[in-house]
Chains A and B, each alone.
Chain A
């Protein structure tokens, strides 16, 4: 048996009103998150020999080669690099890639990093993607990006299955309840289904409170071999299974607008590798760029049948105290969403598995499923983590 790869450190930076406390460039905030994760792992920067980075910063320019630029900035010379960018799900894929690299001996300590200062820079808009190549057939119609693509999916899901806007709102309300328990969350005031229904219409049927926040943020994850973790005295979280897939970027090329095909593929692969069933999952951290993202992901991962996501999330099932704890840090909807959110799903899952989540700690978490979605329901990557 080859070496086993484990997660040994997580880190992030504090936000105030969605902005990084103390400010900083996008390189500074990534360095701070990386240092926090390495301190958590009791491993020094100089031991990092694998670097995995995806981002939207510095393009065109130094961000075109993000691992190369960040490696230089951190003062390290990695012998394994991965800048796979499949959207906000990239970081779950990075865990999979780092696990394979560590198991095969391509690196000993892998550092996965993400950072964005989009809120401070006010760089986020609903338009502005260049109308070149595949986007010459999409961008010209004035589709608000990325919400418009998710809105098209939501409309189709409602048409095929009778899913309601109130059912989508259940997700936003439940996620806000978790955020109210997280001192680091950006939005902590409780909301009602009526608040969601009455919030600003953005792209029918999605309204402002169906949409994730726009914030800064930075996070990092450190992985190493189980034996190295033991040598450093750090507490390992085991990677039991993973899978990834992508199907399209242009929304018109999505195989079925009412089905998150990439998540179905990645979830199936992760469950098969882990060799466990859905009833073994104690906690789900599910990418929530929009409420519809969550609903379609839960169906695709097989937690409920196709078309039954609306009924599944009804009655605040995913809220604190509910039968299906999910997005316990407050998610992209209420904690933070700095453009690509997937790293924070991992950070929260690890904290829950270690029992470090404070007031929002879910009792008895042994196995957690983390699922990232990127692009416009384009990519899915699933990781199953366990503390035993």
Chain B
């Protein structure tokens, strides 16, 4: 996983980008993890909403996150989510708790899926899967 591929090779589902999510995906293409922060309550949230899901304020600001966090939970897919993921089995889907607070679902880029543990420290690892789309995946930087 993590190898760069061209448009013609990438057959897995891609995000259907909409006006609400475009700033996130535009930043990801520049290898920046941009998430909304609420100026009223100070909390971050993800995925991006029109109003803060914590305090319902509309005073939101796109803010660059550290890209660091820890594994809150994970699963190892032993069966693929459809045939396009079959070559990757076994692969790790992780729920990462970002240091800024929100949780993100992503893939872990790892060589040994069996070594993954809840609590492992992770850092974002951008994967340019097509010319237009970069997926923010994560790598373990410190095992628990």
Q: What 1/0 flags go to A225-256 for Cβ under 8 Å of B? A: 00000000000000000000000001111000
B115 at the interface (CB under 8 A from A): no
Q: A137-B47, A138-B105, A252-B103 are in contact. Are A257 and B78 (CB under 8 A)?
A: no
A145 lies within 8 A of B81 (CB)? yes
Please report the C-alpha to C-alpha distance between residue A259 and residue B121 in the assembled complex, in whole angstroms.
23
Q: Which residues of A contact B68 (CB under 8 A)?
A: none
Segment at the B interface, from A199-207, A212-220, A333-341, A361-369: A199-207
- Choose among B84, B88, B105, B135 the residue that contacts A251 (Cβ–Cβ < 8 A): B105
Q: Which residues of B contact A253 (CB under 8 A)?
A: 103
- Choose among A127, A131, A159 the residue that contacts B73 (Cβ–Cβ < 8 A): A159
B76 lies within 8 A of A140 (CB)? no
B77 at the interface (CB under 8 A from A): yes
The binding surface of chain A is classed by DSSP as mixed
Q: Which of A127-142 contact B (CB under 8 A)?
A: 127-128, 130-134, 136-142
Please report the C-alpha to C-alpha distance between residue A250 and residue B15 in the assembled complex, in whole angstroms.
14
A143 at the interface (CB under 8 A from B): yes
B16 lies within 8 A of A130 (CB)? yes
Q: Which residues of B contact A148 (CB under 8 A)?
A: 75, 77, 81, 93
B14 lies within 8 A of A140 (CB)? yes
Segment at the B interface, from A150-158, A171-179, A260-268: A150-158
Q: Which residues of A contact B72 (CB under 8 A)?
A: 156, 257
Q: Which residues of A contact B (CB under 8 A)?
A: 125-128, 130-134, 136-145, 148, 151-153, 155-156, 159, 200-206, 250-253, 257
Further pairs besides A145-B81, A148-B93, A153-B73: 9, Cβ < 8 Å: A127-B80, A131-B13, A131-B15, A132-B16, A136-B17, A144-B79, A144-B80, A144-B81, A155-B118
